[in-house]
Amino acid sequence: MLDLTMKNLAGQDQDLSQYAGRVVLIVNLASECGYTPQYQGLQELHEKYAASGLAILGFPSNDFGAQEPGSDEQIGQFCRKNYGVEFPMFSRVAIKGDDKSALYQNLTSDPKFGGEVAWNFEKFLLGRDGQIAARFASGVTPDSAQMTNAIEAELAKN
């Protein structure tokens, strides 16, 4: 899943393999969505678990309701100003359709956790082995027991 290079919000290539061996939460994001306040919970997860090996990777997308219309610079400013986001964020990507990014092609074709992404703020949790360990619908909040229990279980594995 992580053998890819993606552009970060600054437009620089970032090799996702740098997150190999960590527990990774991949989230498709949007700034004008009813779920946008989840940025705060994602930042809190980052603050709580980053030192233990969790990496949260944010991928803005305008594919659902055109709810991420801004430029990469605008997205970054919005996230920092409104939610204090410090976790890695990437350039806007396609989550569905003919232009779907390679990352989301991989995620949605997984035999166990695959299937098209339904909306903004769906979350894929990768174990330290780089395989999908869990998938959470948009309505599952970052501070939910369901999500924190899954993250803690993956972090506990060596």
Which tokens hold the place of 115?
Answer: 């299937």
Q: 């996702």: which residue's tokens? A: 16
For 75, the domain range is: 5-156
Above 90 in pLDDT, residue 50?
A: yes
Spatial separation of the C-alpha atoms in residues 147 and 56, rounded to whole Å? 13
Please report, for the domain that includes residue 54, its CATH number. Answer: 3.40.30.10
Other C-beta atoms lying within 10 Å of the C-beta of residue 37: 12
**What confidence tens digit (pLDDT) does each residue in 77-134 have?**
999 999 999 999 999 999 999 999 999 999 999 999 999 999 999 999 999 999 999 9
Tokens of 50: 């980053």
Q: How confident is the model at residue 158 (pLDDT cuts 50, 70, 90)?
A: confident
- Give the active site residue among 4, 33, 50, 94: 33
- Angle CA(104)–CA(108)–CA(113) in degrees, nearest 5? 135
- For the question of whether the overall pTM of this predicted structure is more than 0.75, the answer is yes
Q: How many domains does the chain have?
A: 1
* pLDDT score recorded for residue 74: 96
Quote the DSSP letter at residue 91: -
One-letter amino acid for residue 103 of the chain: L
Gyration radius from the chain CA atoms: 14
Q: Which residue has the tokens 């997860």?
A: 45
Model confidence at 1: pLDDT above 90:
no
79 is catalytic: no
The whole-angstrom separation of Cα 91 and Cα 73 is 9
